[in-house]
């Protein structure tokens, strides 16, 4: 899985089946590097390293995210956070600017296969091998609802930015059952769970994060905006001027934003040499006081349900992906067929 980093036509990010992520530049040369082994539980959950001191070589940054493969990832609309799904059935939220794992959510069972972020950044949807589409609240850091409608593994999910507003969100999912399902999500459309009491995440007081304020709303280019255009311009300026973004984008400096002239890293991380070899770089370890929050799966009888709006068989072979454009909806299947559909 490869995607461009928002706001850059030079940098891209790639996720691999060994559970790693690399940030790379298209104009840089590749050079071998040594991957240090994790030495603690914190490092085994997530660590980041800058393998090369020179700005001429890839990768710019290397993350070890999971012991199992990564299946999909999606940037938040403001480009600050990254949602990743993996073969271990976990949804991880990473603070991209600070290269820090903040939250871990779990599926009922099996892999999480696909993920997408709502246009306003408030919600995340995932699909997996539990045959469910799951809606997560990013701002409240919790599972909101399970979406039952497919009869096989979910392979693709996508929000429709042109049919989302502040109260209702349209998204689609495809599955190995060859079906396309459309969902209209709003809090009023949810079927309340049998038990009204929620389940609190299992985490210690030292690892629990305060609920962040809602993110500013932003629509994709050429789309109806949820907020004033001035807010979007300011957010783009903030992203491009952020110290980590400048460091990644610089072609002459060696990540001057997050490392000092003597190779030290920012105060949010502590520096530790992996080996005596200078090319091994330095490992960025999470501050022990800022561990990720582990969110256990909510029991089924405690989960709200969302019923599908439309369900239709669209391919003769298992579906692979779904995407929206302003005028059309596109789907693909396992045989490589791409079909373009008029909007419902």
Whole-number Cα distances in Å, 61 to 25, 51, 179: 10, 7, 39
Residue linked to tokens 């539990």: 130
Judge if the upstream peptide bond of residue 105 is cis by omega within 30 degrees of 0: no
**Its pTM surpasses 0.85:** no
CB 166 within 8 A of CB 125: no
Identify the domain containing residue 141 by its residue range: 2-194+290-342
**pLDDT at residue 272 in the model:** 42
Q: Residue 20 — very low, low, confident or very high, per pLDDT cuts 50/70/90?
A: very high
**pLDDT at residue 195 in the model:** 61
**pLDDT at residue 138 in the model:** 96
Name the phi and psi angles at 90, rounded to 5: -115, 145
- CA-CA distance, 41 to 37, in Å (whole number)? 12
Left, alpha or beta for 219 (phi > 0: left; psi -120 to 50: alpha)? beta
239 has pLDDT over 50:
no
Tell which residue, 26, 85, 64, 319, has the closest CA to residue 339: 319
241 has pLDDT over 60:
no
- CA-CA distance, 274 to 200, in Å (whole number)? 37
- 238 found inside a domain: no
Q: Residue 30 — very low, low, confident or very high, per pLDDT cuts 50/70/90?
A: confident
Query: What tokens appear for 287 in the block?
Result: 């501050």
**pLDDT at residue 196 in the model:** 54
Helix (H, G, I), strand (E, B) or coil at 2: strand
- CA-CA distance, 121 to 95, in Å (whole number)? 14
Please state the rounded mean pLDDT for residues 149-158: 96
- Name the β-bridge partners of 85: 72, 91
- 223 found inside a domain: no
Count of domains observed in the chain:
1
Left, alpha or beta for 7 (phi > 0: left; psi -120 to 50: alpha)? left
- 202 found inside a domain: no
Tell which residue, 210, 204, 212, 213, has the closest CA to residue 294: 204
- CA-CA distance, 236 to 304, in Å (whole number)? 36
**pLDDT at residue 78 in the model:** 92
Which H or E run contains 236? helix 229-241
**What CATH number is associated with residue 131?**
2.130.10.10
């Amino acid at each position: 899985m490869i995607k461009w980093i928002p706001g850059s036509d030079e940098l891209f990010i790639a996720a691999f089946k060994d559970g790693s992520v690399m940030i790379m530049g298209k104009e840089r040369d590749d050079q071998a590097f040594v991957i240090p082994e994790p030495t603690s539980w914190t490092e085994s959950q997530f660590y980041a390293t800058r393998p090369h001191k020179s700005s001429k070589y890839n990768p710019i940054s290397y993350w070890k995210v999971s012991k199992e493969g990564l299946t999909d990832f999606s940037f938040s609309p403001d480009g600050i956070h990254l949602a990743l799904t993996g073969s271990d059935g976990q949804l991880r939220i990473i603070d991209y600017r600070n290269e820090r794992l903040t939250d871990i959510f779990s599926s009922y069972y099996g892999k999480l296969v696909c993920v997408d972020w709502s246009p306003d950044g408030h919600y995340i949807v995932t699909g997996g091998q539990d045959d469910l589409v799951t809606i997560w609240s990013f701002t409240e850091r919790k599972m909101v609802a399970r979406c039952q409608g497919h009869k096989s593994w979910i392979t693709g999910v996508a929000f429709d930015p042109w049919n989302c507003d502040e109260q209702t969100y349209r998204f689609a999912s495809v599955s190995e059952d060859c079906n396309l399902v459309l969902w209209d999500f709003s809090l009023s459309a949810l079927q309340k769970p049998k038990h009204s009491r929620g389940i609190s995440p299992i985490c210690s007081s030292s690892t629990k994060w305060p609920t962040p304020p809602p993110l500013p709303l932003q629509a994709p280019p050429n789309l109806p905006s949820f907020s004033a255009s001035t807010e979007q311009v300011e957010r783009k300026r903030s992203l491009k001027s952020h110290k980590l973004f400048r460091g990644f984008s610089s072609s002459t400096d060696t990540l001057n934003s997050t490392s000092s002239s003597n190779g030290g890293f920012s105060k949010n991380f502590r520096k530790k040499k992996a080996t005596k070899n200078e090319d091994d770089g330095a490992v960025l370890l999470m501050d022990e006081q800022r561990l990720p929050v582990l969110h256990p799966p909510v029991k089924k009888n405690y989960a709200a349900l969302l019923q599908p709006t439309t369900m239709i068989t669209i391919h003769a072979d298992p579906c692979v992906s779904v995407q929206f454009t302003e005028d059309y909806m596109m789907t693909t299947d396992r045989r490589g067929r791409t079909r373009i559909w008029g909007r419902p």
